A and B are shown apart, each in its own frame.
Chain A
Amino acid sequence: MRLVRYSNLVTFEGDFYVFNQMNGTILQISYDTYKALKNQDYDSISEEEKSFLANRGFLVKDTYDEKAILDLDIQRISHARPSTFSLAIGPTMSCNFNCFYCFEQDFRHKTPPWRKMSKETADQTIKFVQNTIPVSTPLEIIWYGGEPLLAPEVIEYLGTRLQEVGYQFKDNETFIITNGYYLTEKNVKKLVDTVKLRRAQVTIDGPRNIHNRRRPLIDGTGTYDVIMGNVAIAAHYLDSIVLKINVDKTNVEYVPDLLDIIKNELPSNVFPSVDSVATETVENPKFSSICFTAQEYASVYKQYFFLRNDLPRPSLTCSANTESGFGIDDEGYLYKCWEELGKKSVAVGNVWEGITNYELYKKWLTLDTSKYPEKCESCSILPLCGAGHCPNKILFPDHYSNSIDCIPAKWFLEDFLKSYIKKHRNSIEKSITLQRRQ
């Protein structure tokens, strides 16, 4: 019996903890146990403690093959009978913005009149869903695009029809990713009522001047005031709004300003979230100099970790790697990966014919750890990162110019754990010997 490979022993202010990356659990242990695990002196641990730890997945057989288990997990996720089905639907691939780092630049329609999903396509989409997904399966719907709120009527139509034919939404909600320009009170109210819109993600890239330079309308006009105004009101109708902040070297110093503005001017159910403009999404080499490297970004992430303060979780895959997720664009093409919405060359099918490119489709379901890049082989945080947890990049490396980015935990896992421990000290489960001591 031994300690599972992907685990971390942490000490914080005189207390000792062990964290299991494989299942994302953390346990407080006694110093003796800590020492024993650290020195691999398993005999000195009591039987009771050992079985407690084994139960939680911390102690495993000597022959345990972590990588294999991870593969099995991936497999399981891929092929599991779906408990939900996720659909990322782009009611339009048009967008009224002109952000320089947009990864959809090549296939976005930029000028009005906006190209929206036609009624026929919409109806056909409903039919496709009826053919593919049992009506009892809850649907996880993400309104996507382009800019989905350019076509709110399509959203309304699709969402209503889906409910009419008997489908339920997972957690009784749908989710929208939008630039926020048309997140007007009218739209929000409508969508809340008709398609159970509860949460939204809106991007703001900094205080007014910064944001307006980065995320202007197509004609260059600034969008900050409109968006902030919309968010302030929309937050009253929605459960929560995540304000995503895409940072690179040119706007990272303004993040505190923006956080301050959010704290003072927006309701408390608006949560900021810092993310990086990945070098990948910007194919223009001119921009790659302003993007953070993975390591640089890790420091930024660490700085703003307190905004989430969650326990790192194993993250091996996404819905693209399952049989229960599709992206659908405005013309009815089907995709596995959302980021490819509109890029018809990599569509796996369409709503009339269903899957047409079986080879491609199958390839999506073949993710396993052996496909990870070499550098991941010996990485100590493999389960948390999952080689970037982007099956697209792992399975189709030739689609991308850059190599896979490591996640911040690679450098700062211990800090994240300590930060979590500090906030949740009293609610972390104690090992059996510790419990006995109380």
Chain B
Amino acid sequence: MEEAKSKLRVNRYAHLLYWEQNCYLFHGESNKVYKIPYKLFKALKQEKIDEIEPSYIDILTSEQILVPEQFNEYEESKIKFQKAKYLDSSVSSYSLTIGTSMNCNFGCFYCYEQGVKEEGTIAMPRQVADQTLEFIKRNVPQSTPLKITWYGGEPLLGLDSILYISQSLINLGYQIEGGIITNGYLLTSQTAEQLVKEANVHFAQITIDGPRNIHNKRRVLKGGGPTYDVIMDNIKNASKFISNISVRINVDKSNRDYLYDLLEELKSMPSNVLPSIAPVREENSTFSNEERKREILFSEQEFAEFTKEFLWAIKRTTLEPFFGCSAIQENSYVIDADGYLYKCWNEIGRREQSVGDVWEGITNYELYKKWLSFGDSDFPESCQSCSVFPSCRGGKCPYNILYPESGDGHWCMPEKFNFDDLLIWYIEREIPQNSIINLDENYIYQYNYSINTNAVPQQCQNYCYCVSDKQVANSVDNTSSNCSNYCYCISDKQT
């Protein structure tokens, strides 16, 4: 088998970084960050495997930093992706996104629920709520933690259902943890307190699109009317009750210049209120014409440029391997105010994309299977040779891959074009310093010692036996005396 030993090469998903005299290696697949000596850095960077110290080879291969020539990172990564879907979801929580209203009191131009929310059910009817409870009882064991995100439309239009469902579940013995996505207009102090006490809501995402005059042009009441002051007030008050408030800022080219103004305002908010920036995407939203759309919306490249300045404020700036959102996992559903089931938030309210309902369960298996089987041949072609695939996986949004026609298709993760900066940020600010594995000589010595000590069996058996079935010998001096066949010695003496 000696001749079959193949060459080794550097794993495509291993990124090398030389920063301020320290050399780092980030393994995109395992999410581990190593600090490595300069010599090793050089050898890896120049792909000169022969120049790597032999004592390092073992650990580099077991960490899959060095891989055999034929190793196919892409295939292996996709298999890991699928594995994570099952091994993670089978033990942890059940996730439900419940739209308690399919209507909304706002009329934002970029809304991706256009076409469904203008005439939608204002508040979830009691029977639907009850049936939703039945659905949950049928599908979720009480011992499984239940994560509920209140959604819509504008969920606070259906506040009753939020409280009713939450209380019922708690009474049934479920452990629920709530979050809410709301425009914030109706989030009075009293409501916030109720949400916390009765629905265990610990997280709220509220959108503000800029300083007052900018925001008031974009996020208007249905029929017109400003919303900024009310929302800001509400945020300040709600932050006393809800432990985590994320101020989402939907940026496009028409409000990007005012971003700092808003960020300045937010500096005066309590420390549990944090900004989070995301680009306005075309998903399901309609624009009057193509030109206008290009004028307003970022293209993939433009947003990538944008992230260079705002790396520190963009949501999902993370290098952790992306294992899919809840849409592709089993234990998760989106339920609209009429009781229809979906897999993805973007689909809510669009009946033709529903996979079932809370009475019948899954009825559209085709669609359901499409979501659940996501992860092998679905990825765009360009992912095959991409070195940031584990962190990105086609843009961190299966919806955009499965339904490109609904918008501008999938975007590569913007930091891909600025990867070193992201890596520096990640190493310096995001990960705990003690999680960095220091592959210095000491470490290597310990590692090698632990796997390579000569394993001599504790007690020598002095025992051999003969393949041609002569009598079993009982002592070492009795081996193969008159026999031409060979024997095996259990204690690893010579055969």
Which A residues have a C-beta under 8 Å from some C-beta of B? 11, 13-14, 30-32, 256-257, 259-260, 263, 306-307
Contacts and interface: CB of A to CB of B under 8 A. Distances in A.
B38 A257 contact: yes
A306 B260 contact: no
Interface string B238-277: 0000000000000000000000110110010000000000
A263 B264 contact: no
Contacts of B261: 31
Nearest to B22: A263
Q: Among the interface residues A11, A30, A31, A306, which one has the most CB atoms of the partner chain B within 10 A?
A: A31
B39 interface: yes
6 contacts: A11-B309, A14-B260, A31-B261, A256-B38, A256-B42, A257-B38
Contact of B21 (A11, A14, A30, A259): A259
Nearest to B311: A13
Contacts of A306: 20-21
Contacts of B37: 260
A259 B313 CA distance: 34
A256 B18 contact: yes
A11 B260 contact: yes
B430 to A, nearest CB: 14
A260 B260 contact: no
Nearest to B267: A14
A11 B263 CA distance: 13
A13 B312 contact: yes
B1 to A, nearest CB: 38
Contacts of A260: 21, 37-39
A52 B264 CA distance: 21
Contact of B263 (A14, A256, A257): A14
A257 B42 contact: yes
Nearest to B37: A260
B147 to A, nearest CB: 31
Interface in B419-449: none
B260 A31 contact: yes
Contacts of B260: 11, 14, 31
6 pairs of A and B residues whose beta carbons are closest in the complex: A260-B38, A31-B264, A306-B20, A13-B312, A14-B263, A259-B21
A263 B41 CA distance: 15
A30 B313 CA distance: 18
Contacts of A30: 264
A32 B39 CA distance: 49
B258 to A, nearest CB: 11
A14 B261 CA distance: 10
B386 to A, nearest CB: 27
Interface in B1-53: 18, 20-21, 37-39, 42
B42 A263 contact: no
A14 B20 contact: no
Q: Among the interface residues A11, A256, A257, which one has the most CB atoms of the partner chain B within 10 A?
A: A256
B207 to A, nearest CB: 19
Given A11-B309, A260-B38, 20 more contacts: A11-B260, A14-B260, A14-B312, A14-B313, A30-B264, A31-B260, A31-B261, A31-B263, A31-B264, A32-B264, A256-B18, A256-B38, A256-B42, A257-B42, A259-B21, A260-B37, A260-B39, A263-B21, A306-B20, A306-B21
Contacts of A259: 21, 38
A245 to B, nearest CB: 13
A11 B21 CA distance: 26
Nearest to B429: A13
Contacts of A14: 260, 263, 267, 312-313
Contacts of A13: 312
Contacts of B309: 11
A14 B264 CA distance: 8
A257 B37 CA distance: 10
A11 B267 CA distance: 15
Nearest to B39: A260
B276 to A, nearest CB: 13
A32 B267 CA distance: 13
Contacts of B313: 14
A257 B41 CA distance: 10
A172 to B, nearest CB: 32
Nearest to B265: A31
Q: Among the interface residues B37, B39, B260, B261, which one has the most CB atoms of the partner chain A within 10 A?
A: B260
Contacts of B21: 259-260, 263, 306-307
Contacts of A31: 260-261, 263-264
Nearest to A258: B38
Q: Among the interface residues A256, A257, A260, A263, which one has the most CB atoms of the partner chain B within 10 A?
A: A260
A348 to B, nearest CB: 43
A96 to B, nearest CB: 31
A421 to B, nearest CB: 13
A260 B440 CA distance: 13
Nearest to A259: B21
A14 B267 CA distance: 10
Interface in B284-338: 309, 312-313
